[in-house]
Amino acid sequence: MTLTTADGLATAPAPRLDWPFLAAAVLATAVLVALVLLDGQVPSAALLVLGFALGAAFLKFEFSFTAAWRRFLVRGEAGGLIGALVLIAVAATVIVPVAALVPGFGGAIAPIGPSLLIGAFVFGIGMQLANGCGSGTLYTAGGGSGRMLIALAFFIAGSVVGSLHLPWLLDLGGIDPVLASAHFGAWGGLAVTLASILAVALLVAFVAARRGASFLPRPALLVGALAIGALAIGVFLAGRHPWSVTFGFTVWGGKIATLVGFDLSAAPFWQWPGPQRALAESVLTDTSSLTDFGMIFGAMAAAALAKPFARTPWPPPGSLLAAAVGGLLMGWGARIGFGCNIGAFLGGVASGSLHGWIWFAAALAGSALGIRFRPLFGLSRE
């Protein structure tokens, strides 16, 4: 329907709801919630609902780690990057002290060594080619992007390959996890974590100012950062561990590989207790998978509310190839580097773990290289 103003001039068509996709997203989420509630898993139901809200929030506020990093590296604009740091600071206010003080809760921690550096660097390249990170791939695929469905498929495949390589990369050595709360206590660790976030925010703001670019987040982006930060706290409280995205992809890929005849039982990664249990049990017992499913359906619902769903034309072959290559690199890098922008950067820094900052630095360097590769696939460097 086209609207007209009081003087008779035509305006842009009003957005219309896409009821079938909206109903499908809500129904699918409701069915999953019912299934886990029948099994008595109230926290699992909460994770599905929180994931749904996260998918809707990411799409509504157009919250993108990938684009924010690219704008910072290419133009010096730091508003998106500072918005992400605000999100992490919000999550840290609960994650650091609760993980340190409450039995049964834990932070996102990882050793520091070649695996972390290589994985994060490769992930950074991949995210700029795919034009999305772990969370970005989920919510844009859920929002109807066929290109990102390709990225997601290759992300899953790359994650399984990475699971086969992770053990021997860990054998290259490194140092044990460095956790702020282990050295300064729960509240001292929180103070150190927030101070580190502030220091990085001031640094990127200084870089932006030197380049004559903006460093202030858009108001809507800031609201989105606060909302997503609060939802990340909810995921932590329901799952007793910081929000993770890419482990779910590894589990999905492992199950698919097993179904088509691959035997993963002898692979060291799949003999570790967590992956072994996840491979053997239903995906509805995996906390990462639950939030991932919720994000897909939440983004689908938000997209269907805003406009007819998935009506954009397919991009050219070069762009699709970039999505596939980027997805593969992200999957491999995420598994080698202990996660993506969510599990490693957000989760690591918000837990007060030094590996989160090292992951960020290595992934940012990888992104700088990935941006240089984008024109090879017909993509703009900006």
| β partners of residue 112 | 175
pLDDT digits (tens, 9 = 90+) for 47-59: 999 999 999 999 8
129/151 Cα distance (integer angstroms): 10
Contact of 124 with 369, CB cutoff 8 Å = yes
pLDDT digits (tens, 9 = 90+) for 113-157: 999 999 999 999 999 999 988 788 888 887 778 888 999 999 999
Tell me if residue 379 falls in helix, strand or coil: coil
Helices then strands, counting H and E runs in the chain, come out as 15, 2
Q: Give the percent of the chain with pLDDT over 90.
A: 77
> pLDDT higher for 303 or 89?
89
310/115 Cα distance (integer angstroms): 38
In angstroms, how far is the first alpha carbon of the chain from the final one?
34
DSSP per-residue codes, 42-54: HHHHHHHHHHHHH
Task: Determine the angle formed by the axes of helices 273-280 and 246-259, rounding to 10 degrees.
Answer: 60
pLDDT band, residue 227 (cuts 50/70/90): very high
Which positions ≥6 away from 341 have C-beta within 8 Å?
65, 84, 127, 133, 134, 135, 136, 363
Q: Give Cα 115 distance to the centre of its chain.
A: 19
Which positions ≥6 away from 177 have C-beta within 8 Å?
109, 110, 111, 112, 353, 354, 355
Q: What's the chain's average pLDDT?
A: 91
Residue 3 φ then ψ, to 5°: -90, 155
| β partners of residue 13 | 2
Residue 139: what pLDDT?
A: 82
pLDDT band, residue 2 (cuts 50/70/90): very low
Contact of 320 with 150, CB cutoff 8 Å = yes
Over residues 267-295, mean pLDDT: 93
Residue 10: what pLDDT?
A: 41
Residue 308: what pLDDT?
A: 58
Residue type, 36: V
6/9 Cα distance (integer angstroms): 7
29/49 Cα distance (integer angstroms): 8
- CA torsion sign for 371, 373, 374, 380 is positive
Over residues 62-76, mean pLDDT: 93
pLDDT digits (tens, 9 = 90+) for 203-213: 999 999 999 99
Say whether pLDDT at 7 is over 60.
Answer: no
Structure tokens at 204: 């990127």
Say whether pLDDT at 15 is over 90.
Answer: no
Contact of 56 with 142, CB cutoff 8 Å = no
> pLDDT higher for 59 or 364?
364
Residue 138: what pLDDT?
A: 81
| β partners of residue 205 | none
Say whether pLDDT at 3 is over 50.
Answer: no
At which residue do the structure tokens 């799409």 appear?
A: 59
pLDDT digits (tens, 9 = 90+) for 146-192: 888 999 999 999 999 999 999 999 999 899 999 999 999 999 999 99
DSSP per-residue codes, 12-79: EEPP---HHHHHHHHHHHHHHHHHHHHTT-HHHHHHHHHHHHHHHHHHHHT--HHHHHHHHHHH---H
- Rounded to 5 degrees, what angle do the CA atoms 158, 159, 163 make? 115
pLDDT digits (tens, 9 = 90+) for 298-319: 988 888 887 655 566 678 889 9
